[in-house]
């Protein structure tokens, strides 16, 4: 994989915008003013593509867009300049390097950026090292560093150091970044911003501590990304295409790091992981029409999106982070091999409350204290290498989504134990249920965990998870009747799956793959309930048994002979 593949993928992202869309967007911003960072990012990425000889018919549109951005940015404080300014600088660097426009035009744009004043143009930044500000300050830090880098601002080292110091107070023991609510996306995003700062030369007071954190957390990134290259779920801004671009930023940075250290085997492993994330991204970019979130619902429904996560902002964000990965990538690092068969387990700090298992080309993720505005506690991900990511689960669902769904009666769901109280079943997705990881580990080509769930009324279950090349075996034990909630993927926004159920088995067929649940000592029933997550709709079934219940889950190609 040559690094220019990132430029090709950026062009594919831009193909989601028609000429009519670009013109309509321009006219809206021209008449209403700059109100967000989607438009500057769009202009910047067009400029970068022009620098590489792509989308040359957009040159005139780009000039108009760039003029508007550079005119508006110094006048605006509420337009997300923290995000935008660095993007505009990246474009100026590429345009100058490739000689696409006359130097006087580049100087005109640069002079406009010289009018930026921190106090007038940035909404979120640290005035002191101990200021309580979150990751927008890291974006502002990189933007100001990039203005200095091209000579559009003097070096204000105090400003840079204040941002670096303020962000350090949110770094936990594993080097991961704690944005409010601990969303998995913004751990990687913030680490990626510091990687970019270092790439462009920062070696100040906080370099070593931050670089050590990037190195430590970078190794953990390999454990958290799924066998299909997908970013861990959890919290806001998840299941968007930009997620895997964020993964690539981290993975390329670490590949380059270890290559410089002469640790080529590890460098190549990071490079292979980056390729895997890009392969998943390519799949979604091959769909028609291209959507910015991992489902096939019409864009105008905003299904799966928070109110801030609209197409014009988050589609082009994918290209912006692909460009960051391009900058950090080194062609000298060859992709190596990722051992998908060996068992592995990893538990984050309690701040992020996640457990990861990997074995036999399967990966699983368990959230033991979910943010109920986005997720539900329980096993929220089970993926098989090469299979459609949501055919079992990529992410759980909640009845209190901070993102758009279209079923008002949707209930929270994951693969999670339940207990019986007469004719009523109590679910482990209830936020009052306490999930405890009692044990986790790996041996050979297997991985396992033991999880206890404790209900407010005194009920308790223990669930043993055993992952191997045969799939996942779950055994739930309790004092009386026990259950296991089984999500069956039903609808992705465009296509329905095929669901077949019998008392002992449940199968979901989707995109030529099958996810199968089987119980050896219980019965599977349709609950009649629906769950919704960002990927689509799930029909919810339950396996039921007395005191001990075992369920096997495996995922395999539809053409494969059905095993007994």
The predicted-structure confidence for 416-430, as pLDDT tens digits, reads as follows: 999 999 999 999 999
Question: What are 154's two structure tokens?
Answer: 């003097």
Q: Which residues, 6+ apart, have CB-to-CB distance to 366 below 8 Å?
A: 354, 355, 356, 357, 378, 379, 380, 435, 437, 449, 451, 465
Residue 478's nearest CA partner among 454, 458, 461 is 461
Across 24-50, average pLDDT: 97
The predicted-structure confidence for 431-455, as pLDDT tens digits, reads as follows: 999 999 999 999 999 999 999 999 9
Q: Are 183 and 360 in contact (CB under 8 A)?
A: no
Q: Are 229 and 273 in contact (CB under 8 A)?
A: yes
pLDDT at 564 over 50: no
Q: Where are the beta strands (DSSP E) in 2-139?
A: none
Beta bridge partners of 530: 539
Beta bridge partners of 228: none
How distant, in Å, are the alpha carbons of 141, 142, 144, 154, 256 from that of 149?
12, 10, 9, 9, 22
Q: Which bin fits 277, alpha (ψ -120 to 50), beta or left (φ > 0)?
A: alpha
Across 357-361, average pLDDT: 98
Higher pLDDT pick, 422 / 67? 67
Backbone dihedral angles phi then psi of residue 235, each to the nearest 5 degrees: 85, -165
Across 325-343, average pLDDT: 95
pLDDT at 1 (0 to 100)? 74
Terminal-residue alpha carbon distance, the chain:
41
Across 116-134, average pLDDT: 97
pLDDT at 19 (0 to 100)? 97
Return mean pLDDT, the chain.
97
pLDDT at 42 over 60: yes
Beta bridge partners of 439: 450
What percent of the chain lies above the pLDDT cut of 70?
99
What percent of the chain lies above the pLDDT cut of 90?
98
Q: Which residues, 6+ apart, have CB-to-CB distance to 435 below 8 Å?
A: 366, 368, 369, 377, 378, 428, 451, 452, 453
Q: How many CA atoms lie within 13 A of 409 on its CB side?
A: 5
Query: Could you say which of 3.40.47.10, 1.10.8.640, 1.20.1070.10, 2.70.98.70 is the CATH number of the domain covering 344-557?
Result: 2.70.98.70
The structure's pTM equals 0.97
- For the chain, give the longest Cα–Cα distance: 79
Q: Are 101 and 95 in contact (CB under 8 A)?
A: yes
Architecture of the domain spanning 5-328: Alpha/alpha barrel (1.50)
pLDDT at 562 over 60: no
Q: Which residues, 6+ apart, have CB-to-CB distance to 202 below 8 Å?
A: 145, 160
User: 10 Å Cβ neighbour count for 259?
Assistant: 19
Across 262-291, average pLDDT: 97
Across 267-276, average pLDDT: 98
Only one residue has tokens 């095993």, namely 563
Q: Are 451 and 435 in contact (CB under 8 A)?
A: yes
Give the three-class secondary structure for 330.
coil
Q: Do domains 5-328 and 344-557 have the same CATH topology?
A: no
Residue 297's nearest CA partner among 488, 515, 537, 511 is 537
Question: What are 179's two structure tokens?
Answer: 């944005």
- Domain limits of the chain? 5-328, 344-557
The three state secondary structure string of 54-85 is CCHHHHHHHHHHHHHHHHHHHHCCCCCHHHHH
Question: What are 518's two structure tokens?
Answer: 């089987």
Q: Are 274 and 252 in contact (CB under 8 A)?
A: yes
The predicted-structure confidence for 508-548, as pLDDT tens digits, reads as follows: 999 999 999 999 899 999 999 999 999 999 999 999 999 99
pLDDT at 252 over 80: yes
């Amino acid at each position: 994989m040559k690094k220019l593949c990132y430029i090709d993928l950026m062009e594919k992202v831009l193909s989601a915008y028609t000429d009519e869309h670009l013109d309509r967007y321009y006219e809206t911003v021209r008449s209403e003013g700059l109100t967000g960072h989607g438009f500057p990012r769009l202009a910047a990425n067009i400029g970068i593509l022009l620098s590489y000889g792509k989308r040359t018919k957009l040159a005139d549109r780009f000039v108009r867009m760039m003029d508007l951005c550079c005119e508006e940015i110094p006048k605006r404080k509420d337009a997300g300049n923290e995000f935008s300014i660095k993007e505009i600088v990246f474009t100026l660097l590429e345009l100058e390097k490739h000689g696409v426009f006359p130097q006087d035009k580049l100087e005109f744009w640069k002079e406009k950026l010289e009018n930026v004043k921190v106090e007038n143009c940035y909404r979120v930044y640290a005035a002191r090292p101990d200021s309580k500000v979150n990751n927008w300050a890291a974006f502002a830090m990189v933007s100001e560093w990039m203005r200095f880098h091209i000579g559009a601002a003097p070096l204000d080292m105090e400003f840079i150091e204040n941002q670096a110091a303020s962000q350090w107070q949110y770094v936990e023991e594993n080097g991961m970044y704690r944005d409010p609510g601990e969303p998995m996306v913004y751990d990687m995003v913030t680490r990626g911003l510091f990687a970019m700062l270092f790439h462009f030369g920062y070696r100040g007071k906080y370099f070593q501590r931050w670089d050590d954190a990037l190195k430590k957390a970078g190794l953990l990134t390999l454990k958290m990304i799924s066998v299909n290259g997908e970013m861990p779920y959890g919290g806001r801004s998840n299941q968007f295409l930009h997620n895997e671009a964020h993964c690539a930023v981290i993975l390329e940075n670490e590949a380059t790091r270890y290559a410089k250290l002469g640790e080529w085997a590890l460098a190549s492993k990071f490079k292979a992981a980056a390729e895997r994330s890009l392969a998943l991204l390519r799949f979604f970019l091959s769909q028609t029409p291209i959507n910015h979130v991992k489902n096939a619902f019409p864009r105008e429904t905003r299904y799966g999106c928070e109110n801030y996560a609209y197409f014009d902002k988050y589609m082009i964000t994918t290209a912006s982070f692909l460009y960051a990965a391009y900058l950090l990538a080194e062609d000298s690092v060859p992709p190596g091999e990722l051992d998908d068969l060996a068992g592995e387990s990893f538990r984050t700090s309690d701040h992020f409350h996640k457990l990861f298992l990997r074995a036999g080309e399967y990966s699983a993720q368990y959230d033991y204290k979910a943010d109920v505005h986005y997720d539900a506690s329980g096993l929220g991900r089970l993926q098989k290498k090469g299979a459609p990511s949501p055919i079992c689960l990529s992410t759980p669902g909640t009845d209190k989504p901070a993102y758009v769904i279209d079923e008002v009666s949707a209930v929270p769901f994951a693969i999670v134990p339940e207990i019986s109280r007469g004719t009523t079943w109590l679910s482990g997705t209830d936020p009052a249920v306490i999930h405890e990881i009692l044990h986790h580990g790996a041996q050979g080509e297997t991985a396992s965990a033991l999880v206890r769930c404790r209900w407010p009324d005194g009920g308790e279950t223990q669930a043993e998870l055993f992952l191997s090349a045969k799939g996942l075996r779950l055994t739930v034990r309790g004092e009386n009747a026990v259950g296991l909630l089984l999500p069956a993927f039903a609808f992705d926004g465009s296509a329905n799956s095929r669901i077949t159920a019998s008392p002992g088995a449940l199968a979901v067929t989707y995109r030529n793959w099958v996810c199968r649940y089987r119980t050896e000592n219980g019965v599977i029933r349709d609950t009649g309930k629906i769950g919704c997550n960002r990927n689509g709709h799930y029909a919810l079934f339950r396996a039921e048994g007395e005191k001990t219940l075992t369920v096997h889950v495996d995922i395999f190609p539809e053409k494969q002979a059905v095993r007994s």
